[in-house]
Amino acid sequence: MKLIAFAFVAILALVQGDSAKQCDLDACKIDSNCRCSNSPSPLDGSLGDWPQLVSLTFDDAITEKVYNDYLDPLLFSRTNPDNNPIGVTFFVPHEYTNYQRVNDLYNIGFEIGVHSITKNPLQSYWRSASEEDLVKEFEGQRHIISKFAGIPVEKIMGVRTPQLQLSGNNSIKAYVQAGLTYDSSWPSLPAKRMFPYTLDYKSTEDCLLGAKCPNEPFEGFWILPINDLVGNEGKECSVVSACRIQGTADEIANWLTSQVEGVRTTTKVPMTLMFNSGWFNSTENSEAGFIKFLDNLLEKEDVFLVSQKQVMDWIKSPVKLADFQTESEQDDPANCDKTKCIVKKGKEDRNFNICTECPSVYPWIGNPDGN
């Protein structure tokens, strides 16, 4: 009887999980892949001795048009102050994505992460999604990218939930089950900029935008906070398009530069900047402004454009400017047997450009292989 009761309690504990505890700064050490959300800044001494890391991130479908009109002219053949190519992270959603282009982005040296299969535009879908549905979205998309863009699955480590709407513990449970290592969906206000941290203990990050934030412990799982920007009329914004900045190319560039300068001169927390093709397409002078902004940034000896993965690597071992090096070019390119398929999604025909044989149907939630 005792044994049965014990087993029952154990199962209950497994199902419900325990609430995360206040972070113990002495127990949570970076050598054991743990960092408290309220740990003091690791950048001791003079701020000038440290690099300012900036991640440009995108979560649009990688279509031929986006690739040719925006990604190629804006991002390719740019280098960091140490002459290595810049790092960028693409959180790739499934629908309309051309996986041959994803393969190209990977081979240039950019980081490929997971966005989701459906990129459902409803906030409520993500906020209240079950663990099971989220596993289908994220594990499914990690599998799709790996299979159809030919990218080794272990290189796909990061994830961004659409609409930045975490569904509490469910999201992180699904991430872990999908084999992912870090999240890039949790915004923090400019008054409380944060360094990346792990979820071994309770997070002290505020829960914004009506999202549900996790509060169970997740050992060694990293949060890369999106430190918000200050947009038009002083309003905080996570996505650059939501900042509603308009003007000449110089005005747009100066605003973007001032957002990085505000951090570079105070805390040097890594910055995650979220761009999308809709902003470039619909905001006048945005492309020219963006180019000037990158030119401004890369003139500074201590600013580096790096992938989110490199931000995570750096915080685990925060080296100073003198020892900091960005990642060099991709030295292990992924193969692509280019195949153009037309496959059915329901009754619709879909173009599906991939690096392997055509599946029977368009891969989708619950059927990532397209069998």
Contacting ligand NAG (CB under 6 A), which of 78, 155, 212, 320? 212
Q: Is 42 in the site for ligand NAG (CB under 6 A)?
A: no
Q: Is 65 in the site for ligand NAG (CB under 6 A)?
A: yes
* Residue 141 β-bridge partners: none
Piece in contact with ligand NAG (CB under 6 A), picked from 211-219, 257-265, 268-276, 306-314: 211-219
Nearer Cβ to ligand NAG (281/367): 281
Q: Is 131 in the site for ligand NAG (CB under 6 A)?
A: no
List the interface residues with ligand NAG, window 238-277 (CB under 6 A). Answer: 277
Q: Shortest approach of ligand NAG to residue 15 CB, angstroms?
A: 9
**Structure-token pair, residue 180:** 């992912």
Nearer Cβ to ligand NAG (100/310): 100
CA distances from 302 to 53, 113, 226, 299, 326 (A): 8, 26, 20, 9, 12
Q: Is 215 in the site for ligand NAG (CB under 6 A)?
A: yes
Alpha carbon distance 165, 183 (integer Å)? 12
Q: Shortest approach of ligand NAG to residue 164 CB, angstroms?
A: 15
Which helix (H) or strand (E) segment holds residue 286: the answer is helix 286-299
CA distances from 9 to 13, 170, 217 (A): 6, 21, 19
Tell me the number of residues near ligand NAG by CB under 6 A.
Answer: 14
Quote the DSSP letter at residue 83. Answer: S
Q: Is 216 in the site for ligand NAG (CB under 6 A)?
A: yes
Number of H helices, E strands in the chain: 11, 15
List the interface residues with ligand NAG, window 7-26 (CB under 6 A). Answer: 16-19
Q: Shortest approach of ligand NAG to residue 60 CB, angstroms?
A: 8
Which helix (H) or strand (E) segment holds residue 336: the answer is none
| Interface map 281-300 toward ligand NAG (x if CB under 6 A) | x-------------------
- Asked if 35 contacts 25 with a C-beta cutoff of 8 angstroms, the reply is no
Nearer Cβ to ligand NAG (62/253): 62
Task: Please identify which residue in the block is written with the tokens 């059915």.
Answer: 344
Task: Please identify which residue in the block is written with the tokens 């989701």.
Answer: 116
- Asked if 86 contacts 97 with a C-beta cutoff of 8 angstroms, the reply is no
| Interface map 143-182 toward ligand NAG (x if CB under 6 A) | -------------------------xx-------------
Nearer Cβ to ligand NAG (53/223): 223
Nearer Cβ to ligand NAG (169/307): 169
Euclidean distance between the first and final Cα of the chain, in Å? 48
**Structure-token pair, residue 125:** 């879908």
Counted residue by residue, the chain has a size of 371
Nearer Cβ to ligand NAG (168/225): 168
Q: Is 69 in the site for ligand NAG (CB under 6 A)?
A: yes
Alpha carbon distance 169, 72 (integer Å)? 37
Interacting residues toward ligand NAG by CB under 6 A: 16-19, 65-66, 69, 168-169, 212, 215-216, 277, 281
